[in-house]
């Protein structure tokens, strides 16, 4: 189930495939690194009780998945926010063709993700 949740998260956060900006490949690599970090945290962390909201027959959002995994893993909710914000800035800069701003945003994300 964790892989399915991560796939949903990755798909929702992915940049539009039709456009390749100056750092689209770098964004894709950083997204893969973030996804791997979330998956590792989910695998190594404790399990949590299923909430009532999880049984309401609604699909989880990428943000709710990341927040839940952050609560039970080794990634803080604040770190997830910083990473998601940085990825959004990188995508925006990439769409605008601003390679420098994109690289700066990805550097911020890389520091938040860690080794």
Residues 10-66 have pLDDT tens digits of: 655 554 555 678 999 999 999 999 888 888 877 776 666 777 766 776 777 777 776
For the chain, helix, strand, coil in percent to 5 are 70, 0, 30
Task: Tell if the pTM clears 0.85, that is, is over it.
Answer: no
Whether 89 has a pLDDT exceeding 50, the answer reads: yes
Report pLDDT for 10. 60
Per-residue pLDDT at 15: 45
Sign of the Cα torsion 7, 66, 64, 16 reads negative
Residue 66 burial (CB count, 10 A): 26
């Amino acid at each position: 189930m964790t892989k399915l949740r991560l796939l949903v998260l990755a798909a929702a956060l992915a940049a539009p495939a039709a456009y390749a900006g100056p750092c689209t490949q770098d964004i894709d690599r950083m997204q893969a690194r973030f996804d791997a970090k979330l998956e590792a945290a989910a695998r190594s962390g404790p399990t949590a009780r299923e909430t009532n909201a999880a049984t309401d027959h609604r699909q989880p959002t990428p943000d709710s998945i990341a927040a839940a995994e952050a609560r039970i893993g080794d990634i803080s909710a604040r770190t997830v926010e910083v990473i998601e914000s940085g990825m959004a800035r990188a995508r925006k800069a990439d769409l605008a063709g601003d390679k420098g701003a994109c690289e700066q945003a990805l550097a911020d994300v890389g520091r938040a993700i860690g080794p």
